[in-house]
């Protein structure tokens, strides 16, 4: 059963913007954290941005100032606003959440959305 559905990827010119969206089919109030990761072919998946249940955020150094993670609990959505995009931002982006139920944590991943930045 699919719990996370991403959208918003696409092709954009360098310097442009994209907003990635992640529909979360879980209770937002059960989430311990949520984040966006990316993975280029042949490379390890890396954290781009994350947000705790309390709203604290973390960003990869190379995207600080260009990327903002946000959430809308009323719509069960998590977003990644990306500005001033660079060709090196090209890759597949994944939404991820950790759900805390009683004393166990469950991790969910989306299917990924492709972002391509042309120079």
Taking only the tens place, the pLDDT of each residue in 29-63 is 889 999 999 999 899 999 999 999 999 999 999 99
At 110, list the tokens: 């989306």
Q: What distance in Å separates the CA atoms of residue 34 and residue 96, rounded to the nearest whole number?
A: 6
Taking only the tens place, the pLDDT of each residue in 8-22 is 999 999 999 999 999
Taking only the tens place, the pLDDT of each residue in 96-117 is 999 998 889 999 999 999 999 9
Q: Is the pLDDT of residue 28 over 90?
A: no
Q: What distance in Å separates the CA atoms of residue 50 and residue 106, rounded to the nearest whole number?
A: 16
pLDDT of residue 37: 98
């Amino acid at each position: 059963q699919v719990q996370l559905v991403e959208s918003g990827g696409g092709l954009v010119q360098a310097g442009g913007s994209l907003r990635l969206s992640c529909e979360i089919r879980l209770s937002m109030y059960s989430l311990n954290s949520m984040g966006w990761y990316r993975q280029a072919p042949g490379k390890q998946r890396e954290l781009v941005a994350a947000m705790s249940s309390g709203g604290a955020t973390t960003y990869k150094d190379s995207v600080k100032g260009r990327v903002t993670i946000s959430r809308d609990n009323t719509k069960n959505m998590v977003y990644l606003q990306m500005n001033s995009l660079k060709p090196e931002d090209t890759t597949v982006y994944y939404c991820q959440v950790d759900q805390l139920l009683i004393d166990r944590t469950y991790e969910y991943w989306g299917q990924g959305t492709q972002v391509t930045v042309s120079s």
